[in-house]
């Protein structure tokens, strides 16, 4: 794969998908400085070996236990340490990884996997069917505190080890997204010996079969991985089969946008995640750097609207908010205008996206006032509307990150213009999430990655209230459609359900979608071999090296 093409983020689809969203619309961006040097060379791994890479992340992992990690940076790190059973290419086609082949029973309740042999975990424990069973069973164990894993494993019930290299997994009900989810490191295979040895500390000492192993995690500063020289390559998607080129991968944690950018500029970092939108132009035009722009798959940046808390429990208020907010302004403030405006709970690059949502609400303040007026919200003291003597005052607990606060301040002004009072309470991210879980926030910042529309279950199914359904959204029809959607295996049957679900969620105004985030990463021009994963979210480091 040439350098140039590897940098182009494309809209993605799954193999069995009918709906193909054009890649070009989102992938135009890839022009970086190194594009001219894209002559494929015969790769002699030994020539390229060596080098230490420093990549700067924007958030600290909350855990390095794949089953318990919920923040993206943990996944980014673990992708190199832990391996999954399968792998998806950028087109969404499945490739073998730790499993060589697989079979599903007719009723969709039993999956049988043949596993690779001759592979060992970093601690020397051999990889076998017992390890796979152990890794999957522990996700169900409440002590593991799995959230993402639990949602991705769906209706998984148990595993049966048929022999050391064959495993059969049983599901309570068919669960359509399972196979695609299997590529995610969240469902990766971990060393049972290490889990038993470290117990609750496994999250600080992950042990897998991956190309890199953990050297150290200094909280608040960095995570360093070193090459696993005994690594046996299991991936079809890499361009060379010997162990990876880079000696070490260091993930530094720099939450401050400007500081992270300066780390790239000063040469301290070779790669940074999330170049701030406002600075993309200047990095792009600098010949020392290249940028990668990807609209990764998942949900847009949005604020979940709490439909169980006054005053957003009134659908009229939630709908008026949709009309009152000028999303063009919001995306300009938050991303420098790079990311397009969002209208629904899914990004257009996710299979099953329903473009009909785009027709539902457009920026129209008079319409917002009319909706409120008709629902009985009359102009009151200080320009704040009131109904039955109660003022239309809402609160949003939010992480004290300046970009998020900025866009929320703009939203605050826009809501004020139609008579809604929004109080912004800034705090640390975990604190804001805790308040949201308890239902104490009217609006909750959210973005989610995922390639299957089943991710809507995480934010909009009532069973996840108290978890990631931070809008406390409860709608029987939505619950039913989401349940049915994950139980059906035939995409033709699934599609109309997800199309309908998106319309219902927006009709109930359970979320305020803002923009389809295009993540911009930046790197030194000398870095080559970067390939993005199936989500178009993070680079795979296996083929990455420095041009000499």
Partner 1 sequence: MSTDVTASGIPTASRPARAPAGRLSMFVRRLRRNRAGLAGGIIVLAVFLSAICAPVVSPYAPNGLDFAAYLTPPGVAHLFGTDEQGRDVLSRVIYGGRISLRIGFIAVSIAMASGVALGLIAGYYEGWTGTFIMRWMDVMLAFPSILLALAIVSVLGSGITPLMVAVGIASIPQFTRVAQASVLSTKELDYVQAARVVGCSPAQILVRHILPNIFAPIMVLATTGVAAAIITGAALSFLGLGAQPPTPEWGSMLSNGRVYMEKAPWMMVFPGLAIMATVMSINLFGDGLRDALDPRLK
Residues at the contact surface with partner 1, assessed by CB under 8 A? 256-258, 276, 278-279, 282, 326, 329, 332-333, 400, 402-403, 405-406, 408-410, 412-414, 423-427
Please say which residue, 186 or 275, places its beta carbon nearer to partner 1.
275
Please say which residue, 242 or 412, places its beta carbon nearer to partner 1.
412
Whether the Cβ atoms of residue 260 and residue 403 lie closer than 8 Å to each other: no
Task: Reduce the DSSP state of residue 363 to 3 states and report it.
Answer: coil
Q: How far is the CB of 442 from partner 1 (least distance, A)?
A: 15
Please say which residue, 253 or 481, places its beta carbon nearer to partner 1.
253
Q: Which two tokens stand for residue 479?
A: 């619950």
Please say which residue, 413 or 466, places its beta carbon nearer to partner 1.
413
Which among 341, 298, 188, 302 is positioned nearest to 537, based on CA atoms?
Answer: 298
Please say which residue, 91 or 406, places its beta carbon nearer to partner 1.
406
Count Cα neighbours of 460 within 13 Å in the Cβ-side half-sphere: 35
Please say which residue, 403 or 525, places its beta carbon nearer to partner 1.
403
Please say which residue, 129 or 414, places its beta carbon nearer to partner 1.
414
Phi, psi for residue 292 in degrees, rounded to 5: -120, 125
Which among 327, 259, 241 is positioned nearest to 516, based on CA atoms?
Answer: 327
Task: Reduce the DSSP state of residue 367 to 3 states and report it.
Answer: helix
Please say which residue, 222 or 399, places its beta carbon nearer to partner 1.
399
Please say which residue, 45 or 427, places its beta carbon nearer to partner 1.
427
Q: CA 205 to CA 392: how far, in whole Å?
A: 49
Q: How far is the CB of 462 from partner 1 (least distance, A)?
A: 30
Phi, psi for residue 178 in degrees, rounded to 5: -55, -50
Q: CA 160 to CA 538: how far, in whole Å?
A: 33
Q: How far is the CB of 364 from partner 1 (least distance, A)?
A: 16
Q: How far is the CB of 9 from partner 1 (least distance, A)?
A: 24
Angle made by CA atoms 4, 295, 148, in degrees to the nearest 5: 120
Q: How far is the CB of 515 from partner 1 (least distance, A)?
A: 15
Q: How far is the CB of 177 from partner 1 (least distance, A)?
A: 37
Q: CA 286 to CA 273: how far, in whole Å?
A: 17
CA dihedral sign, ordered 342, 344, 345, 350:
negative
Count Cα neighbours of 254 within 13 Å in the Cβ-side half-sphere: 23
Q: How far is the CB of 285 from partner 1 (least distance, A)?
A: 13
Q: How far is the CB of 273 from partner 1 (least distance, A)?
A: 16
Q: How far is the CB of 327 from partner 1 (least distance, A)?
A: 12
Which among 380, 388, 362, 441 is positioned nearest to 416, based on CA atoms?
Answer: 380
Could you list the beta-strand ranges (E) of 306-442.
386-387, 390-391, 393-399, 421-427
Q: How far is the CB of 402 from partner 1 (least distance, A)?
A: 5
Angle made by CA atoms 525, 529, 533, in degrees to the nearest 5: 115
Whether the Cβ atoms of residue 207 and residue 190 lie closer than 8 Å to each other: yes
Contacts for 490 with CB less than 8 Å, ≥ 6 apart: none
Please say which residue, 346 or 415, places its beta carbon nearer to partner 1.
415
Distances from the Cα of 156 to the Cαs of 74, 165, 200, 495, in angstroms?
Answer: 24, 20, 23, 23
């Amino acid at each position: 794969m040439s350098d140039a093409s590897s940098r182009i983020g494309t809209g993605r689809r799954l193999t069995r998908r009918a709906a193909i969203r054009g890649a070009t619309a989102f992938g135009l961006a890839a022009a970086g400085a190194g594009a001219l040097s894209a002559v494929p060379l015969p790769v002699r791994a030994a020539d390229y070996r060596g080098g230490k890479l420093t990549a700067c992340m924007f958030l600290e992992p909350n855990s390095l236990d794949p089953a318990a990690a919920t923040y993206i940076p943990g996944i980014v790190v673990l992708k190199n340490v832990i391996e999954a059973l399968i792998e998806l290419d950028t087109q969404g086609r499945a490739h073998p990884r730790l499993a060589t082949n697989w079979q599903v029973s007719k009723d969709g309740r039993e999956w049988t996997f043949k596993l690779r042999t001759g592979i060992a975990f970093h601690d020397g424990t051999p990889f076998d069917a017992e390890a796979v069973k152990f890794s999957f069973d522990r996700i169900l164990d409440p002590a593991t505190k799995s959230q993402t894993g639990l949602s991705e494993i769906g209706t998984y019930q148990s595993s049966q080890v048929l022999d050391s290299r064959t495993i059969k997994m049983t599901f309570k009900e068919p669960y359509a997204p399972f196979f695609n989810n299997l590529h995610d490191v969240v469902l990766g295979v971990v060393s049972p010996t290490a889990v038993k040895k470290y117990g609750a500390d496994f999250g600080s000492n992950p042990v897998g079969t991956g190309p890199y192993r953990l050297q150290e995690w200094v909280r608040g500063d960095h995570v360093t991985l070193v090459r696993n020289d005994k690594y046996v390559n299991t991936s079809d998607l890499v361009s060379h089969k010997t162990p990876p080129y880079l000696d070490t991968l260091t993930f530094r944690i720099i939450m401050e946008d400007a500081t992270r950018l300066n780390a790239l500029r000063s040469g301290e970092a070779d790669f940074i995640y999330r170049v701030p939108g406002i600075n993309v132009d200047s990095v792009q035009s600098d010949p020392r750097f290249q940028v990668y722009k990807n609209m990764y798959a998942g949900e847009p940046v949005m604020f979940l609207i709490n439909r169980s808390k006054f005053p957003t429990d009134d659908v009229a208020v939630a709908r008026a908010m949709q009309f009152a907010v000028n999303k063009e302004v919001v995306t300009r403030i938050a991303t420098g205008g790079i990311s397009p405006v969002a209208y629904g709970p899914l990004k257009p690059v996710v299979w099953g996206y329903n473009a009909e949502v785009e027709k539902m609400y457009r920026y129209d303040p008079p319409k917002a006032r009319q909706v409120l007026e008709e629902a009985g919200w009359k102009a009151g003291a200080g320009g704040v509307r009131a109904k039955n003597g109660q003022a239309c005052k809402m609160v949003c607990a939010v992480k004290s990150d300046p970009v998020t606060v900025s866009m929320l301040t703009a939203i605050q002004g826009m809501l004020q213009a139609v008579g809604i009072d929004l109080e912004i309470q800034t705090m640390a991210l975990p604190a804001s999430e805790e308040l949201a879980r308890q239902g104490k926030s009217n609006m909750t910042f959210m973005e989610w990655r995922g390639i299957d529309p089943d991710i809507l279950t995480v934010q909009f199914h009532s069973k996840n209230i108290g978890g990631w359904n931070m809008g406390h959204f409860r709608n029987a029809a939505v619950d039913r459609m989401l349940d049915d959607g994950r139980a059906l295996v035939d995409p033709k049957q699934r599609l109309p359900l997800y199309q309908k679900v998106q319309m219902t969620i927006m009709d109930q105004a359970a979320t305020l979608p803002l923009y389809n985030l295009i993540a911009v990463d930046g790197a030194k021009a000398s870095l080559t071999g970067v390939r993005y994963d199936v989500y178009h979210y993070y680079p795979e480091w296996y083929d990455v090296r420095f041009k000499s």
